[in-house]
Amino acid sequence: MLKRKTFENGFQYLEVKNSAASAKIALQGAHIFEYKRKAQGELFYLSETSDFALGKAIRGGVPICWPSFGLNNPDLPQHGFARVFLFEYISSSEMNATTTQLVFGLNDSAKTLSLWNYKFELRFIVTISDTLTMELQTLNKDTKEFTLTQAFHSYFKVSDISNIVLSGLDTKPCFDTLTKKNTLQNGDITVSEEFDKVFQEVDTILTLQDKDKIITIQNEGSSSVVVWNPWVEKCKRMNAMQDDDYREFICIESANAFEDFVVVKPNETQILKTIIL
Ligand code: BG6
């Protein structure tokens, strides 16, 4: 079942329900802000004080950072512009009783060209089932190549940040954006202070263990993963977040970021894909 819905202020989203899962996806940013599996409940954190207003990024769910991650392209806003642009809802298909696929698109326009002077066709294909598959396809429609950094900036909801163990990044090269130092990760990850690291050369499946719940993240088309939690002080400074919210999530962002940028030639398509099991 698929319904088009609108908040009182006119902010539009799609609601999807099938016999395995349900999801809510805003047209702004093709932003998944709820995804509930029948068996496990809600997978993503969503701030109770998040804005749902055009031009303001939703705090939680899965923001799509594109065509720049962070300030990798210093000429663009933080995390690019796609997360605050209205996507077109292109199609949906109920593949079977437990699986629904939706396609969203964003094309260049006078507004995007004024920010980033390239012609492109962006497609976001999301498959909602007891697994969640997200695929972002970037087609270069320009006559010149462009450099892309991007991410699915997933905010995973956790019982408490002190309960989580993230596996799969052991021995990977890592850039700590807080200390500006390059290191190699040693062992599994737990979080007990502000954490903001970019892991490179990631070719393994990641596992997020939270008490008795396990989430598996499988990435294709990218080899960087950003792990972020703002902890106490930064959380207080963040917009659209309450003081203790840092306890409720960990961001594990499947990315092409920093050294893992991609160069997309005219007529080429680049694909970022993540499967969450
Ligand atoms: C993460 C960055 O990807 O996004 C953090 O590593 C940043 O440094 C966070 O604070 C949130 O960014 P924003 O733009 O959504 O507030």
* Atom 10 in ligand 1: residue holding the nearest Cα: 230
Distance CA 164, CA 156 (A): 11
**Contact status, residue 220 vs residue 206, Cβ threshold 8 Å:** no
Q: Is 69 helix (H, G, I), strand (E, B) or coil?
A: coil
Name the residue of 71, 76, 153, 195 whose CB sits within 8 Å of the most ligand 1 atoms, as the mutation to test its pocket. Answer: 153
H runs (alpha helix) in 60-138: 110-115
What pLDDT shows up at residue 205?
A: 97
Sheet with 269-276, edge to edge strand ranges: 88-96, 99-107, 120-128, 132-140, 269-276, 213-220, 206-210, 164-167
Write out the two tokens for 128.
Answer: 């909602």
**Which regions of the chain are under pLDDT 50?**
none
What pLDDT shows up at residue 266?
A: 98
Ligand 1, residue 196: give the atom nearest the CA. Answer: 6
Q: How far, in Å, from the CA of 236 to the mean position of ligand 1?
A: 14
Give 156-216 as a DSSP string: EE-S-GGGEEEES-TT-EEEETTTTEEEE--S-B--SS-EEEEE-S--S-EEEEETTEEEE
Q: How far, in Å, from the CA of 258 to the mean position of ligand 1?
A: 14
Ligand 1, residue 230: give the atom nearest the CA. Answer: 10
Name the residue of 150, 196, 226, 229 whose CB sits within 8 Å of the most ligand 1 atoms, as the mutation to test its pocket. Answer: 196
What pLDDT shows up at residue 212?
A: 86
Ligand 1, residue 151: give the atom nearest the CA. Answer: 3
Q: How far, in Å, from the CA of 70 to the mean position of ligand 1?
A: 7
Distance CA 91, CA 108 (A): 19
Among all residues, which ones are annotated catalytic?
A: 153, 253
Q: How far, in Å, from the CA of 60 to the mean position of ligand 1?
A: 11
Q: How far, in Å, from the CA of 69 to the mean position of ligand 1?
A: 9
* Atom 8 in ligand 1: residue holding the nearest Cα: 196
What pLDDT shows up at residue 190?
A: 98
Q: Is 268 helix (H, G, I), strand (E, B) or coil?
A: coil
* Atom 16 in ligand 1: residue holding the nearest Cα: 238
What pLDDT shows up at residue 45?
A: 98
Domains in the chain, CATH or no CATH each: 10-270 (2.70.98.10)
Ligand 1, residue 65: give the atom nearest the CA. Answer: 3
Q: How far, in Å, from the CA of 212 to the mean position of ligand 1?
A: 28
Residues with CB under 6 A from ligand 1: 57, 70, 78-79, 153, 196, 226, 228, 253
Half-sphere exposure (Cβ direction) of 46: Cα atoms closer than 13 Å:
20
CA distances from 269 to 41, 91, 195, 254 (A): 34, 20, 33, 18
